Amino acid sequence: MTLRNILFSSASASLFLGCGTGLLEKHVDEGTIEYALTFPDYDPNGLMAGMLPEKTTLCFTEDKQVAELSAGMGIFRTMMQVDNSGQVMDYHLSMMGKKIVAHLKPRDMDLFNADYGNPTILFTNDVDTIAGYPCKKAVAIFDRLARPEIELWYTDRIRIKDPNWFGPFAEVPGVLLRYEMVQNGILMHLDATSVTPGDVDPAKFLAKDDYDAVAAPVLHHARRSAGHVLDVAIKLWRSGGLVRVPTIDHLPFNFSGRCLLIVRLYLGAYILSRS
């Protein structure tokens, strides 16, 4: 091979490898992730399919995240504004028009992650592509949940600083694109369907003035109560509406009666539509 050919081949190889590396390792530092939600413990064609959410979104920059979720025909709405650099979270919860928010710090997270305990994270060599992004697989091993293992698929191509610091999967070094979590006693499976790079409206990260500030234990109690109402709804559905609705005196803000009334009305409409 002549010197000219050697130089040409070297230059071509460098150009190819340089472009290839740039394309393969392209990172996104701002945008929106949309997740499809499924609930392994519930019939997707049953009544609860109308009460449980079908999707959730996560808007992100390099140091901030906002996750939003609506359930129970809009009865329950949550929004988490997360500042990863300062390791603080504003957790917003709306129930029947009553809006509360708690300013959470790392010391508060044990309260909200108590159901998980301290899982052991095992990293594997398995890989997959989810929503167009290469992902690696880890497995979380639990000693408290009914399901002892949960698969965690994460990518390092989305640049979010310490994206999991507030949850039980803090040591996973990437953004989770496929995983499961338990919230209010309900097992949810999240699977990213799209990642859309682009500017995020700064207003999403601003404090919401129409929410009443509460302490972390109050928010935790309210979340538990919301899960209890959904549990009653499930029992109503499974019994055809024949079970006695219990008195739930411990629910905050006197919202339980209205929630259960809506559940009964929804169930009645469903039964009529099937008769």
Q: CA-based angle 183:153:172, to the nearest 5? A: 80
Cα distances (angstroms) measured from residue 225 to each of 188, 232, 256: 18, 11, 8
What is the pLDDT, as a whole number, of residue 18? 37
Beta bridge partners of 112: none
What is the pLDDT, as a whole number, of residue 152? 98
What is the pLDDT, as a whole number, of residue 50? 64
Structure token digits, residue 55 = 């999707």
CA 10 from centre of chain: 47
Residue ranges of alpha helices (H) inside 64-212 are 109-112
Structure token digits, residue 190 = 């999240």
Give pLDDT < 50 ranges for the chain: 3-23, 241-256, 258, 266-267, 269-275
CB-based contact 147:139 (threshold 8 Å): no
Architecture of domain 31-213: Clam (2.50)
Structure token digits, residue 70 = 């609506």
What is the pLDDT, as a whole number, of residue 110? 86
Give the separation between CA 82 and CA 61, rounded to whole angstroms.
10
What is the pLDDT, as a whole number, of residue 162? 96
- Find, among 196, 212, 227, the residue nearest to 52 by Cα: 227
- Find, among 70, 55, 57, the residue nearest to 204 by Cα: 57
Q: Exposure string (b/e) for 70-89, b if CB count within 10 Å is 16 or more?
A: bbbeebbbbbbbbebeeeeb
- Find, among 188, 143, 162, 24, the residue nearest to 85 by Cα: 162
- Find, among 206, 211, 209, the residue nearest to 102 by Cα: 211
What is the pLDDT, as a whole number, of residue 144? 66
What is the pLDDT, as a whole number, of residue 246? 44
> One-letter amino acid identity for 176?
L
Give me the residue spans of the domains in the chain. Answer: 31-213, 224-274
